Amino acid sequence: MIDYLTVHDLVWINNVVTGKVNRFDYVTLEEAMAAQYQYGNSSEILVQAANLLNSLLKKPPFTDGNRRTAFIAMNTFLNANGFATVVDDAAAAGLIQSVANGATTSISAVNQLADRAVIPLKASIALRTLITHECNLHADALKILATDD
């Protein structure tokens, strides 16, 4: 079973990474949330994560913090579904910036950022707990991404 982020999760991520409540376009945010799903065989986690990342970066729904939100949302989706980040924060932030600037594709970035987790997370972990963990774990990447966000 695949774990997905909701619109409310994306808003909460944005609040956490920016430290404030930002206005957003609901339709654009809902489109980004829906990008996680794949018609037919919805089991290509890396592709689905890339779709989420691309959607949040190419049509930014929030007035502030879109790159940071995209990074944490993508990581949370990947981690909740058995993948782990395999690059350091500077490299991760660089890949997110490359996607945002059109220098690389989201699928290329995700393929470089993540791989199957050696020890997958327990299914009982709450998504909001995982989001908080991701923010703490990748604090340096969030600082780097904040400069262009």
Task: Supply the CATH number for residue 86's domain.
Answer: 1.20.120
Task: Look at 103 and 42; give whichever has higher pLDDT.
Answer: 103
Q: pLDDT tens digit string along 76-91? A: 999 999 999 999 999 9
Q: Kindly state whether residue 79 falls inside one of the protein's structural domains.
A: yes
Structural domain harbouring 13? 7-146
The stretch 130-147 carries a mean pLDDT of 94
**Total of domains in the chain:** 1
Angle, in degrees to the nearest 10, between helices 127-137 and 139-146 = 70
Q: Kindly state whether residue 20 falls inside one of the protein's structural domains.
A: yes
Q: Kindly state whether residue 57 falls inside one of the protein's structural domains.
A: yes
Confidence (pLDDT) at 41: 67
| Average pLDDT of every residue of the chain | 93
Helix (H) or strand (E) holding 94, with range, is helix 89-100
Q: Kindly state whether residue 1 falls inside one of the protein's structural domains.
A: no
Q: What is the pTM of this model?
A: 0.94
Q: Kindly state whether residue 2 falls inside one of the protein's structural domains.
A: no
